[in-house]
């Protein structure tokens, strides 16, 4: 692709993602409402869709407050990190047969690397705020993300073995006949759980557990800086859903409809599932979260790796 | 694990349940008669002001948002000269109504009191006084009290004997 | 001390008191109605029943009335005994049978002893269906409202009014449940202590009529400890404020001074604070034009600076005031310099005050406090009409008149507090009580002999004679008649045989001789009776403070006039003073016509109207300061409320502003700093720096100030919202330890004691009425737990007296020839409790009771009048001190022959020349001509 194409495509993609992320705010509130026998936002614009606009206006006009006790530069940089790392990762996502920004042959590794970088945002925000709740939230986030990172990577190795490549496009093409979710069901489950933990979505939102830590690492944030954490979270959900589609649900493959639509539908379904999880499950204790990760998920992912490897060897 | 899936399923089923939200203001929710809404001052069956400016509502008010000044007419009937409720402070706890010995102050079912200017939430006596008896019909404090007022001399209240003739010699 | 067992636990109780008294003193809540700490027991209400047991083994016990049972050592009683509780509950149920359903419209509600006791005794539900007995009410005059339905027949009112205060027109009528407390017919109550009925009545039968006009519940009144400004006795008061106006005055208990009561002038004279004649803005006269313009304070100050330019050194004279606080007078004296400071009183008053200070300071006899007066057992009143000039002293003397015969009660084994029995035993016996005066007084009825009626000088001569009888070395009266001598001897013997004799005199007759005679008598008496006391009645609430200011080198206002006439002054500052009264109309005009004349006052006076610049001052309720009363007791009064507007400041603050404008001093210190400075600079006032009596502004209990508002103060978030939605921050009071808030330290549990000088209201759990006071006293009727408030500045030196030897001549019979006219009266000043004090005359209720509808008059005996061809209610022209006056005549049987009492009410309408008349009295008044009655 030419530079010009990139110059159009990149802002285009960012714009689309922004719209999706802010749309998710409305979607999440609406779905939560529905599942709680309410309506959710339904007053601003048709179906309340313009609630997003109102929220954006609000968050932009709020006072952008930096606490006097905070470490100012770090405090300001921290929310940017999460947005940037997640957005960069979208570069390697294959939205369709010919859609997608970069076609890295280490695409999957790039995804893992970038999502690990996201932890800096949370850890730095917690530390720079210089407040006990923020610090605790930051510490939890770091430990949680590092722990779940481990088997997130491991759970994907089965997929890599099946496709024989780290290139995401190749992985998708390898699923032309059978989606990975079938042979790699265990990997799929593990990756999904790890993904939720990675984006610290409910029920794994311990870094920002309201009942204990006020708002965790972003307690001291307000205005658009707070908005960026929020945005980062929705980008993260979208990213994990897109990755799950890519890695396990055959990416853009599907009958009748154009491939990009199939990709979008699958991603959206995962997003909705995430919201359903939020509406259903309570938050575990922190020690439960850690022991679940290390004592259940980690061994399981190793087993998955062994079995997959064994089967592939046997199949040769 | 199964329980978890079942929970997810049950929650999902709520998509098709009936909403509990009442779509105010298109539809109004049912408000019980004893609802604690906007405060009014009522009148007795004879059309006189029920409030006797005893200040009990003011002292019962936990947010001190009632201020009044007592005065008397020529016949000795006491009534409030000014009566002010600052609804921007009111928490609608209903203690004033509970404290009122004459059923004068009453909380009504009106709750639509939003204002853009706080000063508009300060209600003076003319804003509070209604022409009816409100929730408690029939009661007239001055018919029970021993105080002499215009139109009711000593001994004419309910449950009273005529005034004693101090100079009478009979036992 | 006796040990008594209450519900099984031992307690110490005072010997000889009643059980009720002991229980209340120990902090127990025993309900009662008819008992009152000052009126004692009568056993009328049966409410204070407790159970008494014979000994440890007695389980049955018997119910007694605790108020009628004396404490005995080892006594066992039970307050919580179920039978006693049931008994008390039925008693209150009976008492409440006929009580109307009035509480919401009753002024007593919220501070009602009946409400408190009903709850305390456990009566919460009306069971009876009987119809209620009703009564018609009476119009009892402008002070007291009557609502007879509410009566519970405790008899406290008549016991106070008749027995304690000597009133004759309130009594009890009828029988059984028809008992009626009132007058024989409608009409104003005659006693000047009628207002106390409001506090004495345990329910709402007698309520405050002036308060009714702007009624506010007790819990809504912002109050601060204050001192009455309407006479020299310095009674302690608790004024209450709401919505920026002063609503009422209540008694503030001070055992040494007023105790439980106040006079009506003090209680009802407060309305000047809210009146129209208040000066509320500064006014500046430009170019000597008559109408004064309203001016901003800054403009007034700059006007003063402009006018004073260059004349500061020695050019300004200051005229102090006997009604301004010590601090205000001191600030003025500091501004102008001691040599330019003049006391704003007439020569006569100035000399009398100097003499009184000398008598207290140098003589061996202590000035009597009101408590001393209440405890005296022999009284000699020399010249002063105490009931009209110092009413509470008269009330104290009335109690003194009972003390001597009370000794006999022991003979009948009647405890002193068994009031009805005691009065029965005493019958009409009285302490030795002698009245010598030129006019009838309301104490005459107490007199052991026919009151001695004579001109002031003759009264003084009697005093000298008594002194001579008591101590032969004191000068005798050479030309005394045998009659006078024998009277003096009888009085001397009676006084000598008493234990606590008291001699009462004052500035009323305006005769220095009477003061000297009284001093001689007291000093002579002191040799025989060590506890002899002397009491003075003075003209103003701070007369003593002003007199002490420069003693003995002060100057009266007449010297200021001389200086002005000699051209020695270019500017004058007058504070809280009506110069007409001390120096006459012309003198006042001359002084105020200086190029720069400044009057600082809170009411518009003729002086403030003459002034080039008039500045609005704060009244007693809006400022803080110290008054020194007749016995030289310094007492602090605190701000009850904020001044109505920002232009109004305390006098001392205005003087500081002027000082700052003149460049003498940049900083304006706080009032407390000024008080401290004053105490430091003037040794005679050193005790007012005593922090034990006058807590400093930094005083805190548990880190908190003392709140002016009760903890139930209501309406805070609504009372200002008609002006603006922002609720103003409570004003800070940097000058005292009181706060303008309901937040702060308040506790009635006797554990943490609030200093008495800072006690803003009386409240304790279960005790909402004024009777909560017993929770703040050490023993009922005893001193307050928070220590004394106020401190005496002078105690007798104990040195040998140098008797006064200047004995006046016998009163002449005629003015002495002046041309053909040798006819006339000897005019003496008359006073009336309602009328002789300027501030209280702004209260409609008080002014309404002024004699002769507030018109000046001359009172003389019918014979004196007819000798001049006059009848009562005639008008005539008189010449007094060179000026001619029109007067109406009033016949007064009690006036001494040849004398005429001049009465000029101090209201706003009195002509300027009449206002200054008192400063010339006593003097001969030449009768000029009988005039036609003006219609």
SS3 of C642-678: the string is CCCCCCCECHHHHHHHHHHHCCCCCCCCCHHHHHHHH
Q: How many CA atoms lie within 13 A of C693 on its CB side?
A: 18
Number of structural domains, chain B? 1
**Is residue C757 pLDDT above 60, yes or no?**
yes
* Tens of pLDDT, residues B59-94: 999 999 999 999 999 998 999 999 999 999 999 999
Instruction: Give counts: helices (H), strands (E), chain C.
Output: 28, 38
C106, C133, C718 member nearest B84 (Cβ): C718
Please tell me whether residues A147 and A30 are part of one structural domain.
no
* pLDDT for residue C665: 64
Please tell me whether residues A216 and A118 are part of one structural domain.
yes
* Tens of pLDDT, residues C874-918: 888 888 888 888 888 899 888 888 889 999 999 888 888 888 888
From the CB of residue C129, how many other CB atoms can be counted at a distance below 10 Å? 6
* CATH 3.40.228 residue ranges for chain C: 354-538
B64, B85, B148 member nearest C714 (Cβ): B64
* CATH 2.40.40.20 residue ranges for chain C: 824-931
Among all residues of chain B, which has the CA nearest to that of A282?
B4
* Tens of pLDDT, residues B95-123: 999 999 999 999 999 999 999 999 999 99
A16, A39, A61: which is the final residue of a domain?
Answer: A61
Chain B partners of C135 at a C-beta cutoff of 8 Å? 154, 163-164, 166
C220 touches chain B (CB under 8 A): yes
* pLDDT for residue C195: 94
* pLDDT for residue C819: 64
Chain B partners of A276 at a C-beta cutoff of 8 Å? 8, 11-12
* Domain encompassing residue A4: 1-61
Categorize the per-residue pLDDT at C363 as very low, low, confident or very high, splitting at 50, 70 and 90.
confident
Chain B partners of A35 at a C-beta cutoff of 8 Å? 11-12, 14-15
Q: What is the CA radius of gyration of chain C?
A: 28
C568 touches chain B (CB under 8 A): no
B155 touches chain C (CB under 8 A): yes
Residue A280 to residue B7, Cβ atoms within 8 A: yes
Chain B partners of C104 at a C-beta cutoff of 8 Å? 52, 54, 56, 101-102, 141, 145
Alpha carbon distance C305, B108 (integer Å): 62
- Residue B24 within a domain: no
B78 touches chain C (CB under 8 A): yes
Full DSSP string of C701-717: BTTBPEESS-TT---TT
Under CATH, what is the fold of the domain C302-345+545-636+646-656+668-681? Rossmann fold (3.40.50)
> Greater confidence, C916 or C371?
C371
**Is residue C161 pLDDT above 80, yes or no?**
yes
Q: Phi, psi (5° rounding) for residue C586?
A: -65, -45
Categorize the per-residue pLDDT at C248 as very low, low, confident or very high, splitting at 50, 70 and 90.
very high
Categorize the per-residue pLDDT at C773 as very low, low, confident or very high, splitting at 50, 70 and 90.
very high
Alpha carbon distance A263, A274 (integer Å): 17
* pLDDT for residue C272: 94
* Tens of pLDDT, residues A255-312: 888 888 888 898 899 899 988 988 888 888 888 888 988 898 888 888 988 888 888 8
**Is residue A153 pLDDT above 90, yes or no?**
no
* pLDDT for residue C294: 58
Q: What is the CA radius of gyration of chain A?
A: 20
A and B in touch (3+ CB pairs within 8 angstroms) = yes
* pLDDT for residue C310: 60
* CATH 3.40.50.740 residue ranges for chain C: 302-345+545-636+646-656+668-681
* CATH 3.10.20.740 residue ranges for chain C: 2-95
B107 touches chain C (CB under 8 A): no
Residue C220 to residue B59, Cβ atoms within 8 A: yes
Among all residues of chain B, which has the CA nearest to that of C213?
B71
Categorize the per-residue pLDDT at C313 as very low, low, confident or very high, splitting at 50, 70 and 90.
low
Chain B partners of C713 at a C-beta cutoff of 8 Å? 64
Least Cα separation, residue B29 to chain A (angstroms): 15
Residue C799's SS3 state is: coil
Residue B7 to residue A276, Cβ atoms within 8 A: no
* Tens of pLDDT, residues C78-136: 999 999 999 999 999 999 999 999 999 999 999 999 999 999 998 988 998 899 999 99
Q: What is the mean pLDDT of residues A251-257?
A: 80
**Is residue C412 pLDDT above 50, yes or no?**
yes
C and B in touch (3+ CB pairs within 8 angstroms) = yes
The pair of three-digit structure tokens given for residue A75, joined into one six-digit string:
């405090």
Residue A35 to residue B8, Cβ atoms within 8 A: no
Residue A36 to residue B14, Cβ atoms within 8 A: yes
B127 touches chain C (CB under 8 A): no
Categorize the per-residue pLDDT at C817 as very low, low, confident or very high, splitting at 50, 70 and 90.
low
Residue C719 to residue B67, Cβ atoms within 8 A: yes
Please tell me whether residues A122 and A264 are part of one structural domain.
yes
Range name among A164-178, B122-136, C597-611 with the lowest pLDDT average: A164-178
B128 touches chain C (CB under 8 A): no
The CATH number that domain C354-538 falls under is 3.40.228
B7, B12, B14 member nearest A37 (Cβ): B14
C512-528 vs C347-362: helix crossing angle, rounded to 10: 10
Determine the Cα angle at A303 with ends A301 and A308, to 5°.
Answer: 95
Q: What is the mean pLDDT of residues C390-401?
A: 95
First to last CA, chain B: 93
* pLDDT for residue C902: 92
Please tell me whether residues A288 and A165 are part of one structural domain.
yes
CA-wise closest residue to C393 among C189, C541, C228, C536: C536
**Is residue A25 pLDDT above 80, yes or no?**
yes
Instruction: Tell me if C640 sits within 8 A of C622, measured CB to CB.
Output: yes
Alpha carbon distance C320, C579 (integer Å): 10
**Is residue A21 pLDDT above 90, yes or no?**
no
Alpha carbon distance C504, C373 (integer Å): 9
CA-wise closest residue to C197 among C171, C220, C175: C171
Chain A partners of B9 at a C-beta cutoff of 8 Å? none
* pLDDT for residue C559: 92
Chain B partners of A281 at a C-beta cutoff of 8 Å? 4, 7
* Tens of pLDDT, residues C5-22: 999 999 999 988 999 999
Please tell me whether residues A54 and A82 are part of one structural domain.
no
* Domain encompassing residue B67: 39-156
Least Cα separation, residue B20 to chain A (angstroms): 6
**Is residue C506 pLDDT above 60, yes or no?**
yes
Alpha carbon distance A2, B156 (integer Å): 105
* pLDDT for residue C290: 46
Residue B15 to residue A281, Cβ atoms within 8 A: no
**Is residue C291 pLDDT above 50, yes or no?**
no
What's the DSSP call for residue C473?
T
Query: Rounded mean pLDDT of chain A?
Result: 85
Residue A38 to residue B4, Cβ atoms within 8 A: no
Please give the CATH architecture assigned to the domain spanning C2-95. Answer: Roll (3.10)
Q: Give the neighbours of chain A: at least 3 Cβ pairs within 8 Å.
A: B
Residue B145 to residue C104, Cβ atoms within 8 A: yes
Q: Choose, out of B86, B124, B162, the residue to mutate when testing the contact with C (most C CBs < 10 Å).
A: B86
From the CB of residue C771, how many other CB atoms can be counted at a distance below 10 Å? 24
Residue A280 to residue B11, Cβ atoms within 8 A: yes
* Tens of pLDDT, residues C171-182: 999 888 889 999
**Is residue C293 pLDDT above 60, yes or no?**
no
Residue B161 to residue C134, Cβ atoms within 8 A: yes
Please tell me whether residues A55 and A136 are part of one structural domain.
no
B73 touches chain C (CB under 8 A): no
Among all residues of chain C, which has the CA nearest to that of B101?
C104
Residue B148 to residue C719, Cβ atoms within 8 A: no
Query: Rounded mean pLDDT of chain C?
Result: 90
**Is residue C762 pLDDT above 70, yes or no?**
yes
Helices marked H in chain B? 2-13, 56-60, 95-99, 125-128, 141-144
What's the DSSP call for residue A295?
I
Element (H, E) at C482: helix C482-496
A61, A77, A98: which is the final residue of a domain?
Answer: A61
- Check which CATH number belongs to the domain holding B75 and give it: 3.30.70.3270
Longest dimension (CA), chain C: 96
B39 touches chain C (CB under 8 A): no
The CATH number that domain C824-931 falls under is 2.40.40.20
C412 touches chain B (CB under 8 A): no
């Amino acid at each position: 692709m030419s530079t010009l194409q990139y110059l159009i495509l990149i802002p285009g993609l960012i714009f689309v993602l922004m719209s999706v992320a802010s749309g998710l705010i409305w979607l999440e509130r609406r779905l939560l409402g529905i599942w709680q026998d309410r309506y959710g936002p339904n007053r601003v614009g048709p179906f309340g869709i313009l609630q997003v606009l109102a929220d954006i206006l609000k968050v932009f006009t709020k006072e952008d407050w930096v606490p006097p006790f905070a470490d100012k530069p770090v405090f300001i940089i921290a929310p940017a990190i999460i947005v940037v790392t997640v957005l960069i990762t979208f570069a390697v996502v294959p939205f369709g047969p010919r859609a997608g920004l970069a076609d890295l042959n280490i695409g999957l590794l790039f995804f893992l690397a970038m999502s690990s970088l996201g932890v800096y945002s949370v850890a730095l925000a917690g530390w720079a705020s210089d407040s006990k709740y923020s610090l605790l939230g930051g510490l939890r986030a770091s430990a949680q993300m590092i722990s779940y990172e481990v088997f997130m990577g491991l759970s994907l190795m089965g997929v890599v073995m099946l496709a024989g490549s780290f290139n995401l496009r190749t992985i998708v093409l390898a699923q032309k006949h059978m989606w990975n979710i079938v042979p790699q069901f265990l990997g799929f489950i593990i990756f999904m759980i790890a993904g939720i933990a990675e984006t610290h979505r409910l029920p794994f939102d311990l870094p920002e557990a309201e009942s204990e830590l006020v708002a965790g690492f972003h307690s001291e944030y307000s205005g658009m800086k707070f908005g960026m954490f929020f945005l980062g979270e929705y980008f993260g959900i979208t990213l994990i859903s897109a990755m799950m589609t890519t890695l396990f649900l055959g990416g853009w493959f599907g009958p009748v409809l154009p491939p990009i639509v199939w990709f979008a539908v699958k991603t959206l379904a995962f997003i909705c599932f995430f919201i359903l999880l939020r509406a259903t499950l309570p938050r575990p204790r922190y020690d439960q979260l850690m022991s679940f990760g290390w004592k259940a998920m980690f061994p399981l992912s190793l087993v998955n790796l062994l079995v997959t490897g064994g089967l592939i060897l046997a199949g040769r | 694990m199964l329980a978890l899936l079942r929970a997810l399923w049950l929650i999902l089923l709520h998509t098709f349940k009936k909403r509990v939200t009442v779509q105010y203001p298109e539809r109004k929710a049912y408000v019980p008669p004893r609802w604690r809404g906007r405060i009014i001052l009522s009148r007795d069956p004879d059309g006189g002001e029920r409030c006797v400016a005893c200040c009990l509502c003011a002292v019962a008010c936990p947010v001190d948002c009632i201020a009044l000044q007592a005065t008397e007419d020529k016949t000795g009937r006491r009534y409030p000269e000014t009566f002010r409720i600052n609804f921007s402070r009111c928490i609608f706890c209903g203690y004033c109504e509970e404290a009122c010995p004459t059923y004068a102050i009453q909380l009504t079912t009106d709750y639509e009191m939003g204002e853009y200017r706080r000063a508009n939430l300060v209600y003076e006596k003319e804003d509070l006084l209604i022409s009816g008896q409100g929730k408690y019909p029939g009661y007239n404090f001055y018919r029970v009290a021993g105080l002499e007022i215009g139109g009711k001399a000593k001994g004419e209240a309910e449950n009273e004997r005529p005034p004693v003739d101090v100079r009478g010699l009979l036992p | 001390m006796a040990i008594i067992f209450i519900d099984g636990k031992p307690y110490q109780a005072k010997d000889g008191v009643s059980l009720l008294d002991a229980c209340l003193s120990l902090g127990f809540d025993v309900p009662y109605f008819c008992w009152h700490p000052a009126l004692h027991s009568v056993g009328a209400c049966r409410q204070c029943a407790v159970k008494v047991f014979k000994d440890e083994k007695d389980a049955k016990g018997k119910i007694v009335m605790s108020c009628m049972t004396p404490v005995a050592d080892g006594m066992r009683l039970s307050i919580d005994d179920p039978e006693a509780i049931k008994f008390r509950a039925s008693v209150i149920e009976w008492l409440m049978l006929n009580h109307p359903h009035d509480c919401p419209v009753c002024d007593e509600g919220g501070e009602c002893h009946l409400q408190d006791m009903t709850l305390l005794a456990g009566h919460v539900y009306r069971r009876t269906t009987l119809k209620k007995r009703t009564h018609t009410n009476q119009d009892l005059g402008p002070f007291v409202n009557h609502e007879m339905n509410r009566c519970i027949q405790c008899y406290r009112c008549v016991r106070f009014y008749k027995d304690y205060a000597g009133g004759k027109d309130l009594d009890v009528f009828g029988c059984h449940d028809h008992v009626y407390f009132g007058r024989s017919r409608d009409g104003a109550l005659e006693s000047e202590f009628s207002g106390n009925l409001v506090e004495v009545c345990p329910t709402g039968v007698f309520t405050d009529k002036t308060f009714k006009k702007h009624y506010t519940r007790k819990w809504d009144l912002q109050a601060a400890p204050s001192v009455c400004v309407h006479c020299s006795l310095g009674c302690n008061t608790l004024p209450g404020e709401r919505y920026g106006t002063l609503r009422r005055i209540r008694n503030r208990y001070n055992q040494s001074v007023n105790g439980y009561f106040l006079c009506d002038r003090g209680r009802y004279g407060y309305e000047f604070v809210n009146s129209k004649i208040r000066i509320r803005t500064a006014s500046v006269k430009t170019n000597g034009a008559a109408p004064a313009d309203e001016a901003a304070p800054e403009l007034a100050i700059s006007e003063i600076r402009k006018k004073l330019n260059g004349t500061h050194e020695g050019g300004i004279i200051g005229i102090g005031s006997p009604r301004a606080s010590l601090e205000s007078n001191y600030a003025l004296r500091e501004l102008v310099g001691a040599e330019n400071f003049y006391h704003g009183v007439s020569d006569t008053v100035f000399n009398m005050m100097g003499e009184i200070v000398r008598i207290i300071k140098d003589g061996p006899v202590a000035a009597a406090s009101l408590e001393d007066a209440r405890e005296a057992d022999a009284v000699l009143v020399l010249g002063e009409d105490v009931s009209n000039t110092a009413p509470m002293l008269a009330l104290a003397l009335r109690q003194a008149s009972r003390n001597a015969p009370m000794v006999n009660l022991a003979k009948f084994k009647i405890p002193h507090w068994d009031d009805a029995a005691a009065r029965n035993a005493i019958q009409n016996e009285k302490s030795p009580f002698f009245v010598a005066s030129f006019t009838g007084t309301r104490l005459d009825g107490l007199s052991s002999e026919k009151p001695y009626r004579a001109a002031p000088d003759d009264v003084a001569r009697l005093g000298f004679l008594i002194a001579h009888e008591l101590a032969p070395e004191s000068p005798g009266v050479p030309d005394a008649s045998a009659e006078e001598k024998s009277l003096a001897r009888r009085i001397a013997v009676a006084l000598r045989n008493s234990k606590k004799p008291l001699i009462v005199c004052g500035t009323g007759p305006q005769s220095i001789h009477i003061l000297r005679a009284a001093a001689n008598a007291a000093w002579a008496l002191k040799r025989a009776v060590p506890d002899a006391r002397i009491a003075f009645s003075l003209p103003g609430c701070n007369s003593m403070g002003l007199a002490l200011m420069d003693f003995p080198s002060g100057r009266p206002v007449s010297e200021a006039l001389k200086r002005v006439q000699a051209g020695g002054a270019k500017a004058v500052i007058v504070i809280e003073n009506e110069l007409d009264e001390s120096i006459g109309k012309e003198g006042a005009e001359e002084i105020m016509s200086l190029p720069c004349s400044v009057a600082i006052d809170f009411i518009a006076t003729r002086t403030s109207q003459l002034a080039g610049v008039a500045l609005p001052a704060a009244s007693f309720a809006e400022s803080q300061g110290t008054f020194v009363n007749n016995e030289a007791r310094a007492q602090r009064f605190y701000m009850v409320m904020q001044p109505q507007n920002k232009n109004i400041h305390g006098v001392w603050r205005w003087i500081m502003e002027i000082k700052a404008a003149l460049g003498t001093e940049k900083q304006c210190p706080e009032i407390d700093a000024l008080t401290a400075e004053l105490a430091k600079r003037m040794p005679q006032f050193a005790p007012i720096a005593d922090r034990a009596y006058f807590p400093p502004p930094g005083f805190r209990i548990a880190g908190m100030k003392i709140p002016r508002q009760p903890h139930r103060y209501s309406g805070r978030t609504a009372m200002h919202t008609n002006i603006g939605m922002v609720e103003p921050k409570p004003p800070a009071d940097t000058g005292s330890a009181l706060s303008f808030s309901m937040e702060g330290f308040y506790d009635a549990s006797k554990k943490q004691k609030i200093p008495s000088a800072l006690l803003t209201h009386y409240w304790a759990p279960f005790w909402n009425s004024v009777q909560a006071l017993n929770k703040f006293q050490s023993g009922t009727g005893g001193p307050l737990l928070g220590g004394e408030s106020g401190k005496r500045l002078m105690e007798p030196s104990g040195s040998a007296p140098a008797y006064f030897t200047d004995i006046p001549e016998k009163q002449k019979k005629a003015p002495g020839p002046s041309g053909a006219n040798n006819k006339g009266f000897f005019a003496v000043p008359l006073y009336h409790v309602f009328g002789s004090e300027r501030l209280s005359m702004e209260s409609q209720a008080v002014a309404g009771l002024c004699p002769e509808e507030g018109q000046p008059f001359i009172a003389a005996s019918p014979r004196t009048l007819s000798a001049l061809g006059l009848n009562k209610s005639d008008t005539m022209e008189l010449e007094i001190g060179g000026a001619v006056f029109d007067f109406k005549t009033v016949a007064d049987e009690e006036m001494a022959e040849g004398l005429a009492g001049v009465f000029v009410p101090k209201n706003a309408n009195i002509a300027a020349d009449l206002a200054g008349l008192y400063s010339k009295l006593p003097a001969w008044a030449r009768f000029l001509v009988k005039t036609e009655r003006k219609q």
